[in-house]
Amino acid sequence: MNIGFDLDKIFIDYPPFVPDKLIDRLYKHKSDGVLSYRIPSKPEQILRIISHYPIFRPPLTENIKFVKELTDKQKNNNKYYLISSRFGFLKNATEALIKRRRFNEVFDAMFFNFENKQPHLFKHGVITKLKIDYYVDDDLPLLKFLAKENPKTKFFWLNKKIKRTLEKNIIAITHLKEMFI
C-alpha cells in the first residue's frame, strides 16, 4: 500500500495565535467555484519565510511519533510519502525542517511543490504517479478536488472536530491512528 501525508498541519503546526481561517483566506481564492491558490507577493513571501522559522512552527509531536512508529513497525510492502505543496520560496526552510526532524529517515520519498504549481494540481500529479492508496491532508477543498480526480484513493481530512465519512472516498478524522480503524 502507498500512503501519503501532507506536511503542514499534519506534522508541523501553523504559527500560534494566527487563526487558520486567516491563513486560508490569504492563500486560497475561488473564482467561479474553481479552486485556486495565490502565490504570495515578494513582501508576503518574506513574512512567510519568517513565519516558517522553527520557533513559530511547533511540531505536532503526537503525529510525528505515530508516523515513525508506523513506518518502524510495519516493515512490509507499504511505502510512505511526504507530499507537500509548499512553494519554492520556502525551499531552504523546508529542507532545514526535513533535516532537523529527520523526515528523510521516516519517508520512502518526499515531494515538494518548489516549481510553484497550483497545490491541488501538484498533489494530483504526485498521487496519480505514485498510485497512492491513502492520503492525509488538512485542506478539505483540496481533498474534494483530489477525491473526484482519484476515485480509487481513500482520502483523510485531519481536523480537530469531525470524525465521519464525508464523501465516498473522503473520511474526516481527528487523529492519524483513525486511518486504520
Domains of the chain: 2-180 (3.40.50.1000)
pLDDT given for residue 114 in this prediction = 98
- At 16, is the pLDDT very low, low, confident or very high (cuts 50, 70, 90)? confident
Q: Please write down the HEC assignment for all residues of 60-114.
A: CHHHHHHHHHHHHHCCCCCEEEEEECCCHHHHHHHHHHHHHHCHHHCCCEEEECC
User: Which grid cell sits at 7?
Assistant: 506536511
CA–CA dist 75, 80 (Å, integer): 11
- Output the pLDDT for position 147: 97
pLDDT above 70 coverage of the chain, percent: 89
Distance (Å, whole) CA 90 – CA 20: 19
Binned at pLDDT 50, 70 and 90, residue 34 comes out as confident
pLDDT score at 39? 87
| Predicted confidence (pLDDT) at residue 69 exceeds the cutoff of 80 | yes
Phi, psi (rounded to 5 degrees) for 13: -80, 165
Mean pLDDT rounded to a whole number for the chain: 91
